[in-house]
Structure 1
Amino acid sequence: MSWQLTDDVEAFASTSDDFLRSRPVEHTVFLTLVDTLRRRGLHAYGSGAPIFGRWRTGEGAVEGVLLQTPPHPMMFSRLPAGAVAAALDTLAGRPLSAVNMLVDDAAEFVAGWPAPSATERLRVRLYRLEDLAPPSPPAGRARVAGVADRDLLVRWTSAFHDEIGEVREDGYGPVVDDRLSYGGITLWEVDGAPVSMATRSRPDAGMVRVQQVYTPLSHRGQGYGGAATSAVTREALDLGASDVVLFTDLSNPTSNGLYQRLGYRPVLDRVVMEFAS
């Protein structure tokens, strides 16, 4: 059993695709990242070179993966016994600012990583839709965003990332353009003016992830975010998705309560641990 690292996305995809697609709900982010890197190039998420890894059994089967798109944390799938300890050995000597792992795996990794200290930066919960329970709709209607909305969407996407403390090296235009290309942004508008947005991933292995829900501060508290989320969830179901998922920040009780009222149910928790240099 061993970790094998590579900087070749095609080599990683060819050996890990069956593993990732075997549990598309758990592996939702990995599937989206690999798809994006294959379509848009290795620097789709930043100027740093991505790194990929797979944990193989003695028989050669893949039972765990890691993936990092710098400057973002290194993300690990659920890992079998022995894989965390082996990862510590395999990654020894590499610069590592943060990891994104299942909570139990993160505790073991942090205990063994040679950093002066580690700080919990974010704890998130993955939800999967059970049965959609649309809220009583507020004023307005949903519509799929188009290229005429691009400038607004870039501003809102930037504002969303500012609120969660993330910065993108090359701005958010490429992200918005990609989502517009497949109809992946839904707006809720009132009297013809957008008041909220919700975005979704492309369908992959029967899975669609609701990625960003954003309502400007001046429009919050009116139910627009819930309406936009319900609408984009319905779009995913209409596209044939068998699994619709989303992540929430566990420090935000409002969003966690909202998504459960819409019919989403908890699956697992992940944590981002940041290392002092």
Structure 2
Amino acid sequence: MKLTKYKNINEYYKTVYPFLMKNEAENNLPLGLLNSIKSGSRYKDPLLVSAEDEDGRIKGAFIMTPPHHMVSVLKINDEEYSTLAEKLNTLLNEEGIEVPGFVSEKVSAEKLTQAWCNLKGCEHEIGMDQRIYKMDHVNEIELPEGRLIQPEEGHLTLLSDWIQRFTVETGVRPLTESEALERAEDMIVNENYLYFWEAEGKPVSMARGGRWTDNGITVNFVYTPKPYRKKGYASAVVAGLSSKLLEDYKFCTLYTDLENPTSNKIYMDIGYVPVCDSLMVNIK
């Protein structure tokens, strides 16, 4: 097996995009990352690596946007994981990069992490046990009173606070106050698919569409502050946003935390169908 590091995003895109598109919905994360990197909108100095067999066929893709986890898609045999871990470790040592963890389809994540920790003598823990969903139509559900709105400049402080709380509650890398404010400014100015559900004249829940692929787009940043939970607002904002996204895309995808049965039920009620399980693994 051969690993190749790419500096040119266009060359990497040409090499791995067809491989990833074979399972477009399941690979919404790496595909979306590639599109974002290619557009130049975010993620400076990403690590882009392909894995090929002896015949030059693509068998895997690694994408890392430091300091975030390494995203991987692998189609290899069980006995190849040890060799892959050794080659990946050599490459990362040459680049001076430490891997905080992996995100991948569940079985692949488990095997890669085990091979990695056997090699490195490290420990690991599950950061999040996830499920990927896909939907191509929105079911009719009962919605609470309110309406879908897009945030404006006057919502900047509120959105910044919600972004900061979201990162803490979901266990991803927490953002500082200034980082959250910068992210909120960018989302309000530059993003077309960020929405609030407004009830009684104030925002009570939010969701965002991002990470597009050829035919789909991902729903993320779904957040409802604690005082507004269990009132149907998350269902309303996700259903409303999904309907708008389906005007421009053939399907929507999203990730859920399997430890939160409420959110998983909400999404299935709306029309989302499970396509595969995924793991976020933290390396210690």
**TM-score in terms of structure 1 length:** 0.89
1:42 is displaced (CA, Å) by: 3.9
Q: Name structure 1 gaps, 5 residues minimum.
A: 44-48
Instruction: Kindly indicate whether the alpha-carbon contact (under 8 Å) linking 2:81 and 2:115 is maintained by their aligned counterparts in 1.
Output: no
Match of 1:46 in 2: none
**After superposition, where does 1:69-108 map in structure 2 within 5 Å?**
69-81=65-77, 84-93=81-90, 94=93, 95-108=98-111
Q: Distance in 1 between matches of 2:243 and 2:136?
A: 13
Change (3 A) 1:136 1:119: same
Mapping 1:115-126, distance limit 5 Å: 115-126=121-132
CA distance, structure 2, for counterparts of residue 193 and residue 228 of structure 1: 13
CA distance 1:198–1:41, shift in 2 (3 Å): closer
Aligned-pair CA distance for 1:189: 0.5
Report if the CA contact (8 A) 1:118-1:275 is conserved: yes
2:217, 2:252 within 8 Å by CA — same for their partners in 1?
A: yes
2:11 aligns with: 11
Alignment: residue pair count:
270
Report the AA paired with residue 226 of structure 1: S
Is the Cα–Cα contact under 8 Å of residues 3 and 86 in structure 1 kept in the other structure?
no
What code does the residue aligned with 1:21 have?
A: M
Match of 1:242 in 2: 250
Post-superposition offset of 1:83: 5.2
Question: How far 1:212 sits from its partner (Å)?
Answer: 1.4
In the alignment, which residue of structure 2 is the partner of 1:144?
150
Among residues 150, 174, 184, which one is paired with 2:193 in the alignment?
Answer: 184
**Contact 2:219–2:254 (8 Å) recurs in 1:** yes
Identical-pair percentage: 24
- Contact residue 100 and residue 272 of structure 1 kept, 8 A: yes
Give the TM-score normalised by the residue count of structure 2: 0.87
Distance (Å, rounded) in 2 between the aligned partners of 1:63 and 1:216: 42
- Residue aligned with 2:129, SS: strand
Match of 2:161 among 137, 155, 160: 155
Corresponding position of 2:210: 201
Following superposition, the deviation at residue 223 of structure 1 comes to 0.4
User: Residue 55 of structure 1 contacts residue 83 of structure 1 at CA under 8 Å; is this kept in 2?
Assistant: no
Asked whether the 8 Å contact 1:115–1:275 carries over to 2, the reply is no
Amino acid at match of 2:85: L
Distance 1:28 1:176 in 2: 23
Misfit runs of 4+, over 4 Å: none
Deviation at 1:238, TM superposition (A): 1.2
- Tell me, which stretches of 5 or more residues in structure 2 are unaligned? none
Question: Where does residue 47 of structure 2 map in the other structure?
Answer: 51
Is the alpha carbon distance of 1:244 and 1:79 closer, same or farther for their aligned partners in structure 2, counting shifts above 3 Å?
Answer: same
Q: Which amino acid aligns with 1:65?
A: A
| TM-align CA RMSD | 2.1
1:165 shift after superposition? 2.1
- Paired position in structure 1 for 2:115: 112
Separation (CA, whole Å) in 1 of partners of 2:204 and 2:110: 40
Q: Deviations for 1:69-102, whole angstroms, at most 9, x for unmatched residues?
A: 1111111114222653332021225332211122
Provide the secondary structure at the position in 2 that maps to 1:142.
strand
Amino acid at match of 2:232: G
Query: Quick check: 1:60 aligned with 2:56?
Result: yes
Deviations along 1:85-122, one digit per CA (max 9) or x if unpaired, are 33202122533221112221222223222233221221
- In structure 2, do the counterparts of structure 1 residues 258 and 171 end up closer, same or farther at CA, with 3 Å as the change threshold? same
Partner of 1:274: 282
Q: Structure 1 pair 69/219, CA: closer, same or farther in 2 (3 Å)? A: same
> Quick one: which amino acid aligns to residue 40 of structure 1?
S
Report the 3-state secondary structure (helix = DSSP H, G, I; strand = E; otherwise coil) of the residue aligned with 1:63.
strand
